[in-house]
Structure 1
């Protein structure tokens, strides 16, 4: 028997929403959120947010950028000549900092520039700067003095709330059985939850089926390894 035709899924814009209104707080991120919302009352004008992939660093940084008017720059793309323009608003987010993944002299120059101009800098990374191995002794000293807040991976309650919200953003009402099923079969990160919601929505459109546990069981059979 021939399989039923699959409906073409339109590429509707359900991009990740990174506003304050879309941020759900829990034990894994509430300290970082409180620090962001205390701005500009930062003791040294600089802060690092560190956590594993999918822990919500970019969302926290996006909230602060909206508050402060900060520009956003990838650490890998950072070069010394561009820094005055990058800090033109007085605030900068430096994303995805990792030892060996940025120009050390450029970062040292940036830290000096922020201090001289009494600006603000938010850095995101997977590990706190005190753990980085850098060649420049002066840079190492500056990084050790930088306040840092770690993000842990979200707990079940927060992942559950995020999943329900992502479905609601797509105007999909889902029941508790589906959410509980998915939480045991997707990765323990915001990114994994978002990908699961996207996959279910897309496959439901293509197969002309409702978004429910039965469909999820055909797509997510086993817990992640």
Structure 2
């Protein structure tokens, strides 16, 4: 009879211990996160970021302008005409009534010979031959374009092409920097053929042509230059079409680099830089 209370006390004690275990609060240790020191960007950092942003903007602007550039064209309407090339254009328009079926077009480098020659080739359905290895057989009965002849050509092939030009369906347009009488030849019978050619010269560009090509080169870069830039450049720049292309390119790049519009002041800066460089070489 005495064992039962002990058992009851054991069970009761066990339950009380269980309750105590359940009600004992769990203590969680909170470990604070380390504070990361932050620092506001200084003036130098802001300048670097600003410069990087400006550089990116300039690159994107230049890339967009390059993508917007208009492709080159050999059409007659895109050729700038003036007194300096009027004779050449008139001679080309005599086709197919050229004496002997051939014409030699000559003038300085970059003056527009290729433009006019390619326009004629398209109009005449001419075959364009390689001057170093002209395929004479492929030219039979067709008009032919042969460029830069005074820079080196197969003399025998040229001799045959001149003879073939007078035949039905034939024709021959030659381009060069110098007149045919100045071309070097090794074939004895060739000089007499060259001297008999109809010739047309494209002279150094006049103001009308130079202003026209400047506007064309600006237009190809999607740039609208102020009107006062043109007379300023015409009075001071080298009078050649390649230089006109170069000056437009440099004005475009300088305007992008300096984030300023194309103006007479910027044009003066470019021309003065050229003058200083020439003085260095002259010295």
Contact 2:210/2:241 (<8 A) preserved:
yes
2:205 aligned to which of 154, 171, 182: 154
Which one has the largest radius of gyration? 2
Q: Name the counterpart of 2:31.
A: none
Which is further off, 6-15 or 42-51?
6-15
Contact 1:54/1:192 (<8 A) preserved:
no
Contact 2:100/2:165 (<8 A) preserved:
no
Q: CA RMSD in A?
A: 2.6
Deviations 1:171-204 (A, max 9, x none): 3222232122323443312222122222222332
Q: Is the aligned partner of 1:166 residue 2:217?
A: yes
Q: Name the counterpart of 1:48.
A: 104
Q: Name the counterpart of 2:186.
A: 135
More helix by share: 2
Q: Distance in 1 between matches of 2:140 and 2:260?
A: 51
Q: 1:122 is paired with a residue of what secondary structure?
A: strand
Q: Is the aligned partner of 1:27 residue 2:83?
A: yes
2:249 aligned to which of 198, 205, 222: 198
Higher relative contact order (CA 8 A, sep 6+): 1
Q: Distance in 1 between matches of 2:122 and 2:252?
A: 30
Q: 1:39 is paired with a residue of what secondary structure?
A: coil
Contact 1:69/1:89 (<8 A) preserved:
no
Measure how far apart 1:206 and its partner are. 4.0
Which is further off, 215-224 or 161-170?
215-224
Q: Distance in 2 between matches of 1:89 and 1:18?
A: 25
Q: Name the counterpart of 2:27.
A: none
Q: Name the counterpart of 1:90.
A: 142
Q: Distance in 2 between matches of 1:185 and 1:14?
A: 27
Identify if the C-alpha distance between structure 1 residues 195 and 16 changes in structure 2 by more than 3 Å, giving closer, same or farther.
farther
Give the number of equivalent residue pairs: 220
Q: 1:148 is paired with a residue of what secondary structure?
A: strand
Q: Is the aligned partner of 1:182 residue 2:227?
A: no
Give the unaligned 5+ runs of structure 1. none
| TM-score scaled by length of structure 1 | 0.84
Q: Is the aligned partner of 1:78 residue 2:133?
A: yes
Measure how far apart 1:21 and its partner are. 0.8
Q: 1:98 is paired with a residue of what secondary structure?
A: helix
Identify if the C-alpha distance between structure 1 residues 155 and 118 changes in structure 2 by more than 3 Å, giving closer, same or farther.
same
Q: Distance in 2 between matches of 1:184 and 1:14?
A: 28
Q: Name the counterpart of 2:34.
A: none
Measure how far apart 1:220 and its partner are. 2.7
| TM-score scaled by length of structure 2 | 0.69
Which is further off, 42-51 or 89-98?
89-98
Measure how far apart 1:78 and its partner are. 2.7
Identify if the C-alpha distance between structure 1 residues 22 and 89 changes in structure 2 by more than 3 Å, giving closer, same or farther.
farther
